[in-house]
Amino acid sequence: RVPPVWKNRYCTPVAMSVDLWFVDLARRVGQLVILGDTKVGELPEMEIWLGGLFNPEAFIMATRQYTAETTNTPLDDLVLTCCLTSRDKKEETASINATTTRTSACPSLGFQIRKLTLEGASWTVSDHLSLTEEMKAPLSNVEFKWKATSSEPLTDDDDVVGADAVSVSGGGDRKGTNNIDAGGALSSVTNIGIPLYLHDSRANFLINLEVPRSGEDVENIFFQRGVAFLAWDETA
């Protein structure tokens, strides 16, 4: 068993074996070495293993501060957006937008996140969350991007890939959102708050993701099944 003093250094699953702990530590250190040799301006081009960071919460905040300084944008004006696809359908990219407000002309910076896992549901080629019989669904790289927003309505010039919108926030309120569909028209979708946890013990909450759900699935069933995103998973 992993000695308690080792576990106190950073958060790991309770049932992790010593062998897996060493393998995991080596991977974490390997990523840390690469990050240490990377210039700040090159970070957006890297694929970050969020669950393999010793303090993933600090990384999320640091990306926000970096974007604010680089784009000269107040922190409160930045909204986290992301794009994700199922690992077996990488060419089908869902635009995941944090609000229905218009993105400003201020440049935005993306950060590539890898090894996320969706538990209790899957991400469909129709760009929405759907219940599945599979326990876990690994996701391909997810791009986290902070963007400045204004109160102006969406226009055809906005940088939105045709798909349903998914917001990333610290809250868990579920709401309907007007989004751009594949045909370029505004459509009403129902978002559902899905938490992102560090790992499957679900003891460490990182951030909440509001994602469009399948209209064929009853909302309460998502909560009954405990659908969630995981930043670290042994199978990822």
List domains and CATH numbers for the chain. 44-230 (3.10.490.20)
**Residue 211 pLDDT:** 73
State which amino acid sits at residue 101: T
Q: How far apart are CA 39 and CA 221, in angstroms?
A: 45
pLDDT digits (tens, 9 = 90+) for 83-105: 664 444 443 333 333 332 333 33
Q: Return all residues near 3 (Cβ < 8 A) that are at least 6 apart.
A: none
**Residue 76 pLDDT:** 87
State which amino acid sits at residue 124: T
What is the reported pTM?
0.69
DSSP letters, 71-97, are HT--GGGEEEEEEE-BTT-TTSPEEE-
SS3 category, 44: helix
| Angle, vertex CA 137, rays to CA 146 and CA 177, nearest 5 | 45
Q: Return all residues near 71 (Cβ < 8 A) that are at least 6 apart.
A: 106, 107, 108, 109, 148
**Residue 181 pLDDT:** 42
pLDDT digits (tens, 9 = 90+) for 37-76: 988 778 778 899 999 999 999 998 988 898 899 889 999 8
More confident residue, 143 or 163: 143
